[in-house]
Structure 1
Amino acid sequence: MPAGRTGQASAVSTIIALVLLGAVLGFAVARPRGLPEAVAAVPAALLCVACRLVSAREALDEVRALLPTVLFLAAVLVLAHLAEVHGVFGWAGAAVARFGQGRPKRLLTAVFAAAAVTTAVLSLDATVVLLTPVVLTVAARAGVRPRPHVYACTHLANSASLLLPVSNLTNLLAFAASGLSFAGFAALMAAPWLMVVVAEYLVFRFFFARDLHGRAEPPAAPGPAPRYALTVLAATLAGFAALQPLGVEPAWVATAGAVALAAPLARRLRVGTLVTEANPMFCAFVLGLGVVVLAVRDNGLGDWIDGLVPRHADLLGLLVVAGLAAVLANLLNNLPATLVLLPAASHSPGLLLAVLIGVNVGPNLTYAGSLATLLWRRILHARDAAPRTAEFLSLGVATVPLCLVAAVVTLWAGLRISGHAA
């Protein structure tokens, strides 16, 4: 085939792949008639194969590569649901309210702590879906303005997911390619995670200063802690760290934790409910999206991205990668941004971790940055507490650049100390 025709065919393939990706993401954002995201993603993936943007074998290989991560996602969603049934989130909300003592500033501190821990241990979905409604209720009962506390849930659902491989789907994808152990990943990301949480907190105290004045009546003391459920969650977290070096997939550990939580509830649990909580349609969306993103990478975008990603994990390289990841997260959403960037950064654990800083912190800039933020927005709309777009964007501008720089500089220092700076 003449070079001109080859170039035209390549350009057409690139355009088709980008149009399909745009359609999938647009559908995921709008969700017309409440239809699940997979309704667009799975047909788009099949079209990629039918149009020969990727081969059937490449598509299957991509699905196989993503499957362990997707199975973990399903297991941890069930784990979080069962924790809620055991009363973990109700108890946490009561503890937060008790610590707040009717003082907005103390309540914000407690919400930050609860959201950061929930995100790190049970993933960002638990913070958005389960903790946000609890925090909204706690603020209403305390008689304080809910905005700072509710915004904290979505910001920390994204930015506080830096700590562990299991905190975010993006982390699991990068973790599989990094060559790091579970403990090694956590050790490198602990300081950046702490810096981001502290930076967010300081900005929130300034940004919402007017909402953090006044005092209400302190709430009653929380009831007894759900000790069994908390023990199972702690054991599950320990299992992630202890069993990963032995080759045990996180999905199996999360499943074991879910089984342990389900056992005392066996008489009143329904299998259908657990299947629904595993959200199989969202899992299918992730797999379909992976194939579509593969088509985009293989038909032009991959070479362009590869040219932008630095080769070395020095401070400038880390800053560039994190910034690029943040921009792509807000243009494409953080999950496809991760899938696009991983192959280009896979030669360096430091660059992979910088990608995670970008795709986890960056989404706080716009609603479209992550599916978790979009879900948080829907939850507030359903409760007549819709966020104001201008305020959301202003808060993002105030937090994201600061948190990106703080996290990257801290990561750079940690890489140099640990010997992973190559």
Structure 2
Amino acid sequence: MVQVVAQVGHVREANGPRRPPAGPVGRAPYASRVLLADPGSALRDAVSVVALVGLLVVAFRHPRGRTEALAGIVAAAAVLLIGAVGVDAAADQVERMLPVVLFLAAVLVVAEACAAEGVFDAVGDAVRRAGRGDAHRVLLVTFLAASVITAALSLDATVVLLTPVVAAAVAGSAAQRPVVHSCVRLANSASLLLPVSNLTNLLALPDVALSFGGWLLVMAPVWVVVIAVEYAGVRLFFARDLRAAVPAPDRTLVHLPAFPVVVVVAMLAGFAVGSTYGVEPFWVAGAAALVLGARSVRAGHFTAARALHATHLTFGVFVLCLGVVVAALDGSFLRDVVGDALPGGDGLAALLVLALVATVLANLVNNLPATLLLVPLVAPLGTTAVLATLVGLNVGSGLAWPGSLANLLWRRALVRRGVPVSSATFHAHAALVTPVALVAGVVTLWAVS
């Protein structure tokens, strides 16, 4: 599997300690230690924090790809120039994260090729037809589709490709609100099932003593319970909208193309088989992207330029630079605060605390940098502790806009298509469902582990 070692604690070791050891009378407060031993350390921490905040602002605004990549490069250069992280350590961090970024680029091509082949149009048509004018049936089919697509093609496919299709399927009806909000909730919550469903899972994978199949067996019950809670939450919160009528389906039937579905199924099987032999997922996803992309180009459904654009290479550069900035934060006050908040052991109470800490950190600094900071600290507690942390990083990241890039991409996808998005509705729905889904998921994980 992916040999991405997201243990930024080891990165700091390559640069030498930044803090003096505690004296015989005890460990002084962090601020006192750095000011007495190394006044420049406070400056390095400040620059690292500003760089991280700047990157989060860029992620929220989501400018053009070149601007996004440039912002990442500037932030990474700043922490390098100030000495917050060494060149060798930064290069090591990039090398460790590169397979995850390559996987993301490949799976985005697979998802875009599926869209070009008409897979998502067929799903949208199936949602409309299965509903037969009943908003509750439309919602149920949307849940099934979003859960499967998130697990198989990652959360980006759900928020960027599926959401506009299902929004169009129920356009003109009040049922559009619960349908589109289901997509963003499931983009986060339904990404628990497989190691490849979310970048957070891939970054944490080296610290989980499970194979691809083992992960599936442990997390499947958690996935089912969390999705059930999400479904009940949508039914409750949007009860009035779900009483609205849904437009009747068109007479023209949109067929689900077989070839891309077969390629995606083969890709998932390849992940499972490849993990047995140490084949990293980006090789399998890259092969699927090559096969499906070449076939789509030959059939005239796809172009090489569209395939290149689908990789979002500039975003990959942004993610790598974000990793460098997070590596610079290791050993700072932020790591102290997070480390002090973590419990010991892996009992139910400890697992709930881990999920809570992960949720808070994800919604403060986004779940991607939160994963890089938190997982190395939790890893010594064992596999169950890391998985509980991922419940917080994935399910909990749906609590506020900054929690997950999926939230921001979903918002942008709808706004660009003229679909109204209410921050009040998003956060009220999240506040109702997230705590229940979080607790239910952790309790289920504890029970099956």
Q: Check whether the contact 1:53–1:299 (CA below 8 A) recurs between aligned residues.
A: no
Look up the match of 1:244: 275
Q: Check whether the contact 2:293–2:307 (CA below 8 A) recurs between aligned residues.
A: no
In 2: Cα distance, 1:212 partner to 1:387 partner: 17
In 1: Cα distance, 2:174 partner to 2:427 partner: 23
In 1: Cα distance, 2:114 partner to 2:290 partner: 11
**TM-score normalised by length of structure 2:** 0.88
| 1:296 Cα offset (Å) | 0.9
How big is each residue's C-alpha offset from its partner over 1:166-195, in whole Å with a ceiling of 9 and x where there is no partner?
A: 101111111122132111111111111111
Q: Check whether the contact 2:211–2:275 (CA below 8 A) recurs between aligned residues.
A: yes
> What is the one-letter code of the residue matched to 2:259?
Y
Matched, 1:124 2:158: no
Instruction: Give the alignment partner of residue 384 of structure 1, picking from 404, 410, 418.
Output: 418
Look up the match of 1:39: 70
Q: Check whether the contact 1:54–1:295 (CA below 8 A) recurs between aligned residues.
A: yes
In 2: Cα distance, 1:326 partner to 1:64 partner: 28
Q: Check whether the contact 2:379–2:386 (CA below 8 A) recurs between aligned residues.
A: yes
Number of matched residues?
Answer: 414
Look up the match of 1:14: 45
Q: Check whether the contact 1:195–1:407 (CA below 8 A) recurs between aligned residues.
A: yes
Q: Check whether the contact 2:47–2:78 (CA below 8 A) recurs between aligned residues.
A: no
Q: Check whether the contact 1:322–1:354 (CA below 8 A) recurs between aligned residues.
A: yes
> What is the one-letter code of the residue matched to 1:25?
L
Structure 2 counterparts to residues 29-68 of structure 1, below 5 A: 29-31=60-62, 36-68=67-99
In 2: Cα distance, 1:306 partner to 1:333 partner: 18
Look up the match of 1:164: 194
Task: Assess, with a 3 A threshold, how the Cα gap between structure 1 residues 216 and 404 changes in structure 2: closer, same or farther.
Answer: closer
Q: Check whether the contact 2:73–2:318 (CA below 8 A) recurs between aligned residues.
A: yes
Gap runs ≥5 in structure 1: 416-422
The secondary structure found in structure 2 opposite 1:346 is: helix
Comparing 298-307 and 108-117, the one that deviates more:
298-307
Task: Assess, with a 3 A threshold, how the Cα gap between structure 1 residues 10 and 361 changes in structure 2: closer, same or farther.
Answer: same
Q: Report the aligned-residue RMSD.
A: 1.8
| 1:243 Cα offset (Å) | 1.1
The secondary structure found in structure 2 opposite 1:340 is: helix
Matched, 1:410 2:444: yes
Look up the match of 2:4: none
How big is each residue's C-alpha offset from its partner over 1:120-156, in whole Å with a ceiling of 9 and x where there is no partner?
A: 0000000001001101110117x45300000011110
Look up the match of 1:418: none
In 2: Cα distance, 1:414 partner to 1:13 partner: 44
Matched, 1:176 2:206: yes
| 1:36 Cα offset (Å) | 4.1
Task: Assess, with a 3 A threshold, how the Cα gap between structure 1 residues 122 and 32 changes in structure 2: closer, same or farther.
Answer: closer
| 1:35 Cα offset (Å) | 5.6
Look up the match of 1:140: 171
Q: Check whether the contact 1:98–1:221 (CA below 8 A) recurs between aligned residues.
A: no
Look up the match of 1:266: 297
Structure 2 counterparts to residues 184-203 of structure 1, below 5 A: 184-203=214-233
Task: Assess, with a 3 A threshold, how the Cα gap between structure 1 residues 169 and 33 changes in structure 2: closer, same or farther.
Answer: closer
**TM-score normalised by length of structure 1:** 0.94
In 2: Cα distance, 1:114 partner to 1:46 partner: 42
Look up the match of 1:312: 345
Q: Check whether the contact 1:377–1:386 (CA below 8 A) recurs between aligned residues.
A: no
Structure 2 counterparts to residues 96-111 of structure 1, below 5 A: 96-111=127-142
Look up the match of 2:331: 298
Look up the match of 2:235: 205
Task: Assess, with a 3 A threshold, how the Cα gap between structure 1 residues 270 and 383 changes in structure 2: closer, same or farther.
Answer: closer
Structure with greater proportional helix content = 1
> What is the one-letter code of the residue matched to 2:438?
L
Comparing 308-317 and 216-225, the one that deviates more:
216-225
Q: Check whether the contact 1:328–1:337 (CA below 8 A) recurs between aligned residues.
A: yes
Look up the match of 1:326: 359
> What is the one-letter code of the residue matched to 1:213?
R
Q: Check whether the contact 1:54–1:298 (CA below 8 A) recurs between aligned residues.
A: no
**Percent identical residues:** 45
| 1:370 Cα offset (Å) | 1.0
Look up the match of 1:346: 379
| 1:15 Cα offset (Å) | 1.6
> What is the one-letter code of the residue matched to 2:186?
L
The secondary structure found in structure 2 opposite 1:386 is: coil
| 1:297 Cα offset (Å) | 1.6
In 1: Cα distance, 2:117 partner to 2:339 partner: 47
> What is the one-letter code of the residue matched to 1:369?
G
| 1:216 Cα offset (Å) | 4.1
| 1:165 Cα offset (Å) | 0.5
The secondary structure found in structure 2 opposite 1:374 is: helix
Q: Check whether the contact 2:175–2:244 (CA below 8 A) recurs between aligned residues.
A: no
Look up the match of 1:226: 257
> What is the one-letter code of the residue matched to 1:261?
L
Comparing 1-10 and 47-56, the one that deviates more:
1-10
In 1: Cα distance, 2:136 partner to 2:247 partner: 14
| 1:20 Cα offset (Å) | 1.2
Q: Check whether the contact 2:200–2:371 (CA below 8 A) recurs between aligned residues.
A: yes
Task: Assess, with a 3 A threshold, how the Cα gap between structure 1 residues 150 and 216 changes in structure 2: closer, same or farther.
Answer: closer
| 1:32 Cα offset (Å) | 5.2
Q: Check whether the contact 1:122–1:167 (CA below 8 A) recurs between aligned residues.
A: yes
In 1: Cα distance, 2:260 partner to 2:63 partner: 37
How big is each residue's C-alpha offset from its partner over 1:187-241, in whole Å with a ceiling of 9 and x where there is no partner?
A: 1111111111100100111110100114345314733321111111111111111
